[in-house]
Chains A and B, each alone.
Chain A
Amino acid sequence: MTITDTPVNNGVNVQALLGAREALSAAPEAAEFTWRATCTWRNGTHSHSTLNGFTGLGAEQQHRTTFEYDVDHPECFASEDNGATPTEVVLVGLASCLTAGVAAVAQFREIQLRSVTATIEGQMNVLGILGADPDIRNGFETVTVRFDIDADASREDLEALVAQSQKRSAVFDIVTNPTKVLVELA
């Protein structure tokens, strides 16, 4: 699909992904992953989350470093704005998951990407979380993602790329489908 003569390189190791798919299909227990994070309350709506380890490939795994996130609410909510809101973190998760998918699918389909920018918006009526109107849900009413993609491909191919990235996205599935969530006291 590319018009360049140089090999398509979006920095995605397709061979490794295809190899993993084959290996994990043969050893399905290794495909069971558990992702985790630890969130500690600081003050007010400010919390600090760290994540490092996860389980997968039949063993305990470590990130290369511990990642840390400060999450808070903005001053218009009478908070100190020490970090993004949790809802914005969800938007980051969805946009970055879809963007990674665009790159991976483009590599697989031999489409050279020059730039990809996703602009994501989540519409929410806060009367829901304020408990002021029982007919309004807490979460997003709608989420819109707009991809600007510069690549050696037709518009139709890019539409297919974006559609496929949604189909294979974990966070897109998490956001669009119900998930069983258990919250308990330790």
Chain B
Amino acid sequence: MSALIQTTAAVVGAGHAGLAMSRRLTERSIDHVVLERGEVANSWRTQRWPTLRLLTPNWQTRLPGHDYAGDDPDGYMPVTDVVATITRYARLVGAPVRTATTVHTVRAVPEGFEIRANGDVLRTRAVVLATGACNLPAIPGIAGAVPPSITTLNPLTYRDPGQLPDGGVLVVGASATGVQLAGEIHRSGRPVTLAVGEHVRLPRTYRGRDIFWWLEATGLLAERYDEVDDLTRARHLPSPQLTGTPEAVTTDLNTLTAVGIRIVGRLGRITDGVAQFSGALANTCALADLKMNRFLNRADQWATASGLDDDLPPPHRFAPTYVDPRTPLELDLTSGEITTVLWATGFRPDHSWLDIPVRDRTGHIRHDGGVVTGAPGLYVLGMPLLRTRASTYIHGAGADSEALAGHLHSFLGSRHQ
């Protein structure tokens, strides 16, 4: 049985971003629904491996009207706590969530938008896409050349090392996901090779403070999308090599090398079952070290200018990334040495149900700080560097949803006239 439902606005996705937007719309008395294919925080419930923790410290995991109130502000939330937090938040804001409601199409109609979800048809004047940036694994085309004898996994199918066959594991990608899973799989006793392309190196803590404290305090996270030098590049920056652990340890290539993980260059090609790695590893690492030090210089300058040098431990620098001069350029995937390839090569959003021509030639939705270009009333939220560098992280949804709800409100008003 299908129904025709009229609302002023619809939010697609009941994760932290969609719920923050729901609160903003409620504050403005804008009638809306939140459509969720599963349950609240669905991706966190069903698509994340159990040992994942947020990269950001608990004190920073704040949403509009909801600050962290637990007893471990400096800890990093395990995925179960993220689910609990977002679920609690949905209740707190009284979000009108329709769970188990899968959106099949969103298309433009003369009076706004028509959404087909399950058997129902919704007519709305505004739509907010809040389904997240990490719906699908971004796996390079060379994956097709992996020999069929090899088990292949990605972060959405990986659960724990127990699902892997015995033998060596090639982890492709050394951003947050890759370094965490390389370490975890190594601790299961399997030899791990980590293929490293362009990456962002950051220490977990610096001068006694979490690196996210520094990123926030120095104003870096507040840098706006229309201020950064190269927005396309900044939006595609890999996640920093950080892990959330109870001990707040730094996980970088040096610590991984020290425990016996083999670091190799970016995976370039697989020919006749032989994986070939880039010989540019040394420069890739040198660039990451330079960029880390550039930020630490900025942090130190900020601390001095802020008069905090007496309250903080003195500045210091971390050892440059060690690159073994004997790093192999090839690895024969048919030799039996490697039994699993794990693609930790990033994620991409899934907006395949969006039937409105708003994408650029690379398939990305064109938008100006979340206001989708060429489709008045359509918004996107919860994407990397949507409006500021903080947009990439949970707490960024606060300011982003405020700005976009304000825009949406004005849009509705202008249409009334």
Contact = CB atoms under 8 A, between A and B. Distances in A.
B367 interface: no
Nearest to A175: B279
A172 B293 CA distance: 24
Interface stretch (A73-81, A128-136, A158-166): A158-166
B279 A167 contact: no
Interface stretch (B6-14, B253-261, B263-271, B386-394): B263-271
Interface string A166-180: 110000110111101
Contacts of B266: 177
A28 interface: yes
B286 A177 contact: no
A-B residue pairs, 9 tightest by C-beta: A176-B279, A178-B269, A176-B280, A177-B268, A166-B283, A178-B276, A178-B268, A163-B287, A163-B286
A11 B189 CA distance: 56
Interface of B: 265-266, 268-269, 271, 276, 278-280, 283, 286-287, 290, 293-294, 325, 361
Contacts of A156: 290, 293
B363 to A, nearest CB: 13
A18 to B, nearest CB: 11
Contacts of B279: 175-177
Q: Most chain-A Cβ atoms within 10 A of its Cβ — which of B269, B283, B287, B290? A: B283
A167 B278 contact: no
Interface in A106-152: 142
Interface residues of A, number: 16
Q: Please classify the interface of chain A as helix (H, G, I), strand (E, B), loop, or mixed, using the class held by over half of its residues.
A: helix
B280 A173 contact: yes
Contacts of B294: 160
A178 B271 contact: yes
Interface of A: 28, 142, 156, 159-160, 163-164, 166-167, 172-173, 175-178, 180
Dominant SS among interface residues on chain B: mixed
28 contacts: A28-B361, A142-B325, A156-B290, A156-B293, A159-B286, A159-B290, A160-B290, A163-B283, A163-B286, A163-B290, A166-B280, A166-B283, A167-B283, A167-B287, A172-B280, A172-B283, A175-B279, A176-B265, A176-B278, A176-B279, A176-B280, A177-B266, A177-B269, A177-B278, A177-B280, A178-B271, A178-B276, A180-B269
B281 to A, nearest CB: 9
Nearest to B230: A21
Contacts of A180: 269
Contacts of B269: 177-178, 180
Nearest to B282: A166
B361 to A, nearest CB: 6
A164 B290 CA distance: 10
A159 B293 CA distance: 12
